[in-house]
Structure 1
Amino acid sequence: MKNKCILVSKLRYTQCALAVLIAVGTLTYAHAENNNSKAAVLETIQLQAQGNWLDDVTAKKVFEHAGARTIIDRKRLDETASVTIKDALKQVPGVQVQDNAGTAGSDLSLSFGVRGLTSRFSPRSTVLMDGVPLAFAPYGQPQLSLAPTSLGNIESIDVIRGAGSVRFGPQNVGGIINFNTRSIPKQFQGNIAMTTEIARNGNVKLSPNLFLGTTLDNGLGLALLYSGTQGNGYRDSNDHNNINDVIFKTAYAFTDQDQIEFNLHRYDGKADMPGGLTTQEYKADSNQSTRPYDYFEGHRTDGALKYTHKDDANTFELLAYHTDTYRNAVMEKINDTDKNKKQLRNAPRTYQVTAFEPRYSHAYVLGNTANEISIGYRYLNEDSKEYIGRSAWYKNGTTPLSVDGYSAAAGKTIAHAVYLDNRIDLGAWSITPGVRFESIKTRENYYKLNANNSIKNEVSTHVKSNEVLPNLSVLYKVNDQWNVFANYGISFGPQQYSQMAKIDDTSKLAVSQTDGLNPEKAKNYEIGTHYLGDALTAEFTVFYIDFDQELLRYNLGGTEGWTNLGATKHMGFEFGARYDFGQLNDALTGLSTYTNLTYTHATAAAGIRKGKDLSFSSRWVANIGLGYKYEQWSINTDVFAQSKQVAPNKDDLVVEDSAAMYGSIPGYATMAVRVGYDLSRYLNGFKVAAGIKNMFDKNYFTRSSDANGGKFQGQPRTIFLQTSFDF
């Protein structure tokens, strides 16, 4: 009976989505007929293969994409109070950014969730930089506890929240995010910049940036990018950062249609983790840190080689890359029974990933339709070595003991992915059916070690997955400025290394935990509309995610494991708009505004919280910004707001405990102001700006229940100064 109810529920949602799609199609078709639209017959057919739609993103490409998509370009990043990538992502509808908390509490990490999906280390989205995955193990460990990218090196952020499961994967329930680094210029260009943040307690954090680029007479393009962060955050202690991010880019066009590119990237970082506070500690001093030894460090070296051929009807691309990543977290653990004892823990891990991806697109005419067929393949090989160390217990006030071996793991994944889609343009209609096939083999060897690091016992687990993932998108062009779209796709996430084996807390033996677990799957639906005009740019999307196969971590009586009972449902809408008042009246030239509003109802579909809101998910998130330019002056103000969240304990109670790990998280709103002045009349290319984040010093906080969890204060009033020089 229960299964029957679930089936009926799913059918109702599917029927509802189809009904809305049919209604939208009927209305737009009627609109087209009334305006003598060329929906049925093409007078002329223009052929052009688009190929990889992550390349050369423009407002027009975003408009023509049959799904919810937002681009944040360098101009917008420079004008708003975006000092970090997290600041920038808060301007995207549907994206919820988690503040630094728990083991995700360093400036090296990136935690965001799309449409109510879990945000800790961003595990539900495919995150790329110039098309290369940022996750240190895209299949076996797709988290961003180390996020090797910096805002100063970014030219634009491309966020696709749906309809991406065919071409990109595997973790794409929360869409695709691609960070495009600064491109190589045709003529010599340089830029040097510095952002200085001054926290309320006087702590100073510096973020220097450097860009040099040119294309030589022989056609060879070269660019050097650097972005860093050094200094202290707003916590009074244990809040130091030292991050350096360097990219060397080359490109050579040896014909008008053929180009080869090579990028070399090195990221090094170390950042303290101040940790959470108990209820009493937070009440006494919300800025303090009681964790003097906690820090996170890591580095990544990667190289990418890309060959591209483009002509009017064909696009071919071959991307090959290799990444080598190291990360380590060091934390102090308090004994559960004897609070006077502590233990030092660390978790060094290394990952290597090698992959190559050929893609081919061909534009052709069939009858009165224009078509583009695209096929792509990816081979990916990843290796991981993970280690967990624990020292003997030591007393408060004594020097921590050295860490002895406890457990280790070695994982390997070989994955093959093939996709095929075909865009069919018939008059005002564009229909794209597609399918992706994933074939994955993963092995995990887990070891229990003696104190001398010799092997005490071992377990080896193997998982094979073969998944067929269909996708269908439809776009109807009402006119040159307005279109409507709908899409459906199945997203997929393989079992990760941490879900395959563990140490049994009772017997202290290594055990397999793959029995009964399935790869994660979700059905994604979108219906929406785009508008791209001279003054107004707008998007509105209704979405529904049926995450019926989601793995959930549990802890029962000290025994940890994973269960399939993690199903969730996410539904809501997203609205985003920008308006240039100068198009309305010349007297308003230079005045513009933007606004975003997202409603997300994300609930558990199984387990103890069935029907209740998911943890760390706000139902409402909103932005509104106003900008004004007059001669050399620019003024921007931005307001961000999110509604309350919950962090229930294992008994499903939303009550603050003494450790402050659980309880409610009130909603809040903050305001930022930035004033800039262009000094080019005195020194060509020189600009300065000053601003305030959290202008009214709103007191807000979040929580975490992991190894160094508790209560975390949000960023208080912070002054920032910016200088830049273009040459």
Structure 2
Amino acid sequence: MTGTHRPHLLGLAIACALCAATAHADDTTAPNKPRELEAVQVQGNVLGSSSKENVRTYAGSRKVIGSEDLANGANRSLDDALQQVPGIKIFDETGTGVLPQIMLRGLYESRSGRVQVLEDGIPLSLAPYGQTSLSLFPVTMNQIDRIDIVRGGAAVQYGPNNVGGVINLVSKPIPERWTTTLGEKITAGGAGRYLRDTTLSTGGYLTPDFGLQVDADWNKGQYWREHSGTDVKNLRLRAEWWLADDKLLKAQVQRYVANMDMAGALSVADYEENPRQATRPLDRFTGRTTRASLTWQQDLGAWGPFDQSQFTWTNFSADSSRNFIVGMRRLATETWRPDLAPQLLQSAPRGFKVYGSEPRIALHVDSGNVTQQWTAGVRAVREDIDFLVGNTGLDNGVYTLVRNWQFKDRAWSAYVSDAIGLFNDRLTVTPGLRYEHLNSTYLNRANGISTQNNVRNALPGLTVGYKASSQWYVYADAQRSLRAPQVTQIIYGDNLDSELAWNYEAGARYMPVEGTSINLDVYRIDFDKQIQLDNTTRTYANLGKTRHQGAELELEWSPPSLRALKLSAGYAYLDASQQSGQYAGRRVPYTSRNQLNLGASYSRGDTVVALTSYYFSKAYSDAANTVRENAIASVGQLPSYWVWNMQFTQMLMRAGSSTLKGTLAVNNLFDRRYWYRGIDTSPWGRQAAPGRTVTAGVELAF
């Protein structure tokens, strides 16, 4: 065991918070830190614990946003935090983070469809193969301790849909002693609109071997626009049971319910008049999911020729439903016009049942001059997806069933890699191979026609990392990546081919002294074919070969004479171009060539002041790179923008181990006006980005 501690009943902890907190302060035998398995040399996954220490010798471009940066960086949601990472662009339509739109290295599809997002290593997408989008995002800020953004080198172990990289959201650890945190934030969006975010996290070890954690969040009110009512509830229960020093059983169950009005896009004239208004009063979103997972982790010790080994078996399930309800016109040329009164109410409910199981083993051997760590695993996933679309005439009340489809995906994958350490582990070479096997069945219930699609792909990878000195680490990697055919692509584009790409990357990290780091990488992504949604016709088309290449630079500096001051800067250059077809040589839609991030924080005593900003250059919203907006504003150049955020954090009280903290944040400090286009159910017009908001918060921990 890593320590001993006394059990504390939840009811007693809440009823006698201050007394219990004082008692905890004297309990030096109860460290408030996560426990770990004994075998520290064998690592069960390529990401390790997703800590900043893991980043230093990781053979790929990678960044971890720590808990302090999440708490102090004017982050209303995880979206705001991700905006600070070079290579990531967020199409933020609400400022709430409920429906994230994440682009990674120029790879974009509605609702973050081209980003592999994990929570504690488990896929968060509605269906890891058939529906990779995040149109249901059951994660709130109070659950997350840190964010691990891995842009290269992880494709062998984490797939599919890993072309641009992997984002792993790491939960806060269950503390050794019982701890409760209550939080309340109110965001003012102007014109009398307020959004309240109420959080509760409570948990700890009830016995030396058994711990529980409850996280609850309720987000209710209006964001900064008209027709923006929001009601999102998230409840999660986690448990850890140490059956022995080398055996850990982890379980989790979660219920997430979201109801949100969607302000939608505006015509050019309406946007110029007032970007905070809404002209789509019928549009709304509802979502429900129940998620569960069970993980067994055990150190096996010496096993055959291996001196250490670790076995992990993860099982997960999700039962989800989501529905976008939108007002539409009957005439095809007017379908999504935001300036005309709707004639139809379209409902598009989808149901998802997903089950997955993944056993994995890590084996370590040290033969003197050479060390090896083998990692091998198999994952099986079952997906059942129901897809309905129906229209109701607003003038006559007649309901018409437009689509009634069913998708069944049965997939399994296997992967193996061997991290070979040479020259006292200064040089690590890791070859690996992933194999994807997918059988997909599409049934049109209206006519009984069924279509089958099979995917069989071997995906090799190779990473090389070299610790040149205590200050320098250099790396290079190459990997083959895949995204399986998506439900919407099959429906609207009749394209049953997988998207395949080769990813190449090289980079270096330089840490000359404590408090200073420089990270630079260059990359190239070659797509065999990239499928893109045509915003005007709302059909999927194959862009053919595309090439994404660029460079990313990150600087962090804390002056030796003033460690309380932390400065950061980031820059990303992206050249994403179409390589074949009618528009060869033109830029891939929605990609900004230049991105700049600046940040600063200063702490003095119990006060922290932080300033962050991000800049993105202009982009195009169609393959033709049309500059001038058309009449329905479905195409046209997108503006550049530079947004500044600021937060003031003050510790208001300390009593034993209890703390009371207050925060005041201003997002979009200078009220910069800019817009997006082509966001899901509101594709025509200008989708206004959030204006200035002010958030006041208070947090009590005991």
With normalisation by structure 2, the TM-score equals: 0.88
Matching residue's letter, 2:606: Q
Structure 1 residues 556-603: Cα deviation after superposition (integer angstroms, max 9, x where no partner): 9x7x7544444321011111122222xx21xx2311111111111111
Does the Cα contact within 8 Å between 1:525 and 1:543 map onto a contact in 2? Answer: yes
Matching residue's letter, 2:524: Y
Secondary structure, counterpart of 2:488 in structure 1? helix
Deviation of the 1:135 alpha carbon: 0.7
Structure 1 residues 142-181: Cα deviation after superposition (integer angstroms, max 9, x where no partner): 1111112112211111111111110010100011111112
Instruction: Note if 1:626 corresponds to 2:600.
Output: yes
- CA distance in structure 2 between the partners assigned to 1:654 and 1:145 by the alignment: 29
Deviation of the 1:205 alpha carbon: 0.6
Q: Which residue number corresponds to residue 297 of structure 1?
A: 286
Matching residue's letter, 1:116: G
Does the Cα contact within 8 Å between 1:446 and 1:501 map onto a contact in 2? Answer: no
Q: Which residue number corresponds to residue 660 of structure 1?
A: 633
Instruction: Note if 1:687 corresponds to 2:661.
Output: yes
Q: Which residue number corresponds to residue 701 of structure 2?
A: 726
Measured at CA, do residues 566 and 401 of structure 1 come closer, stay the same or move farther in structure 2, by a change above 3 Å?
Answer: farther
Q: Which residue number corresponds to residue 15 of structure 1?
A: none
Aligned counterpart for 2:401 among listed residues 402, 405, 411: 405
Q: Which residue number corresponds to residue 443 of structure 1?
A: 441
Q: Which residue number corresponds to residue 319 of structure 1?
A: 314
- CA distance in structure 2 between the partners assigned to 1:167 and 1:678 by the alignment: 42
Does the Cα contact within 8 Å between 1:661 and 1:705 map onto a contact in 2? Answer: no
Taking the TM superposition and a 5 Å limit, the aligned residue runs for 1:69-218 are 69-100=62-93, 107-218=97-208
- CA distance in structure 2 between the partners assigned to 1:331 and 1:611 by the alignment: 36
- CA distance in structure 1 between the partners assigned to 2:534 and 2:267 by the alignment: 23
Matching residue's letter, 2:548: H
Instruction: Note if 1:546 corresponds to 2:526.
Output: yes
- CA distance in structure 2 between the partners assigned to 1:106 and 1:328 by the alignment: 18
Q: Which residue number corresponds to residue 640 of structure 1?
A: 614
Count of residues paired in the alignment: 647
- CA distance in structure 1 between the partners assigned to 2:543 and 2:131 by the alignment: 21
Measured at CA, do residues 647 and 245 of structure 1 come closer, stay the same or move farther in structure 2, by a change above 3 Å?
Answer: same
Aligned counterpart for 2:688 among listed residues 683, 708, 713: 713
- CA distance in structure 2 between the partners assigned to 1:386 and 1:527 by the alignment: 42
Q: Which residue number corresponds to residue 472 of structure 1?
A: 462
Taking the TM superposition and a 5 Å limit, the aligned residue runs for 1:515-664 are 517-532=496-511, 533-553=513-533, 562-581=540-559, 584-585=560-561, 588-648=562-622, 653-664=626-637
- CA distance in structure 1 between the partners assigned to 2:174 and 2:316 by the alignment: 19
Matching residue's letter, 1:89: L
Q: Which residue number corresponds to residue 365 of structure 2?
A: 364
Aligned counterpart for 2:453 among listed residues 438, 458, 463: 463
Structure 1 unmatched ranges of 5 or more? 1-45, 395-399, 448-454, 503-511
Structure 1 residues 51-86: Cα deviation after superposition (integer angstroms, max 9, x where no partner): 123342222211111001111121111111011111
Does the Cα contact within 8 Å between 2:142 and 2:201 map onto a contact in 1? Answer: no
Measured at CA, do residues 393 and 187 of structure 1 come closer, stay the same or move farther in structure 2, by a change above 3 Å?
Answer: closer
Structure 1 residues 299-341: Cα deviation after superposition (integer angstroms, max 9, x where no partner): 1101100000135711110000111110000000023368666
Does the Cα contact within 8 Å between 1:278 and 1:658 map onto a contact in 2? Answer: no
Secondary structure, counterpart of 2:469 in structure 1? coil
**65-74 or 401-410: which moved more?**
401-410
- CA distance in structure 1 between the partners assigned to 2:146 and 2:672 by the alignment: 30
Deviation of the 1:376 alpha carbon: 0.6
Secondary structure, counterpart of 2:136 in structure 1? coil
Instruction: Note if 1:386 corresponds to 2:387.
Output: yes
Structure 2 unmatched ranges of 5 or more? 1-38, 302-306, 335-339
Q: Which residue number corresponds to residue 41 of structure 1?
A: none
Matching residue's letter, 2:478: Y
- CA distance in structure 2 between the partners assigned to 1:354 and 1:520 by the alignment: 24
Measured at CA, do residues 565 and 691 of structure 1 come closer, stay the same or move farther in structure 2, by a change above 3 Å?
Answer: closer
Does the Cα contact within 8 Å between 1:51 and 1:316 map onto a contact in 2? Answer: yes
Does the Cα contact within 8 Å between 2:93 and 2:688 map onto a contact in 1? Answer: no
Structure 1 residues 664-702: Cα deviation after superposition (integer angstroms, max 9, x where no partner): 111111211111111224794001111211111222222
Secondary structure, counterpart of 1:216 in structure 2? strand
Q: Which residue number corresponds to residue 353 of structure 1?
A: 354
Structure 1 residues 486-540: Cα deviation after superposition (integer angstroms, max 9, x where no partner): 00000011112233345xxxxxxxxx935xx421100000000123441113311
Matching residue's letter, 1:536: T
Does the Cα contact within 8 Å between 1:106 and 1:296 map onto a contact in 2? Answer: no
- CA distance in structure 1 between the partners assigned to 2:585 and 2:480 by the alignment: 23
Measured at CA, do residues 686 and 562 of structure 1 come closer, stay the same or move farther in structure 2, by a change above 3 Å?
Answer: closer
- CA distance in structure 2 between the partners assigned to 1:262 and 1:626 by the alignment: 39
- CA distance in structure 2 between the partners assigned to 1:120 and 1:513 by the alignment: 18
What percent of counterpart residues are identical? Answer: 28
Secondary structure, counterpart of 2:677 in structure 1? strand
Does the Cα contact within 8 Å between 1:444 and 1:501 map onto a contact in 2? Answer: no
Matching residue's letter, 1:63: R
Matching residue's letter, 1:408: N
Structure 1 residues 447-494: Cα deviation after superposition (integer angstroms, max 9, x where no partner): 4xxxxxxx3x23211011111000000001011232000000000111
Does the Cα contact within 8 Å between 2:76 and 2:96 map onto a contact in 1? Answer: no
Q: Which residue number corresponds to residue 5 of structure 1?
A: none
Does the Cα contact within 8 Å between 1:123 and 1:142 map onto a contact in 2? Answer: yes
**605-614 or 372-381: which moved more?**
605-614
**52-61 or 685-694: which moved more?**
52-61
Deviation of the 1:107 alpha carbon: 4.8
Does the Cα contact within 8 Å between 1:98 and 1:119 map onto a contact in 2? Answer: no
- CA distance in structure 2 between the partners assigned to 1:419 and 1:342 by the alignment: 51
Measured at CA, do residues 707 and 432 of structure 1 come closer, stay the same or move farther in structure 2, by a change above 3 Å?
Answer: same
Taking the TM superposition and a 5 Å limit, the aligned residue runs for 1:418-437 are 418-427=414-423, 428-437=426-435
Secondary structure, counterpart of 1:347 in structure 2? strand
Does the Cα contact within 8 Å between 2:126 and 2:135 map onto a contact in 1? Answer: no
Secondary structure, counterpart of 2:107 in structure 1? coil
Q: Which residue number corresponds to residue 7 of structure 1?
A: none
Does the Cα contact within 8 Å between 2:111 and 2:680 map onto a contact in 1? Answer: no
- CA distance in structure 2 between the partners assigned to 1:626 and 1:182 by the alignment: 25
Q: Which residue number corresponds to residue 36 of structure 2?
A: none
Deviation of the 1:192 alpha carbon: 0.9
- CA distance in structure 2 between the partners assigned to 1:435 and 1:623 by the alignment: 35
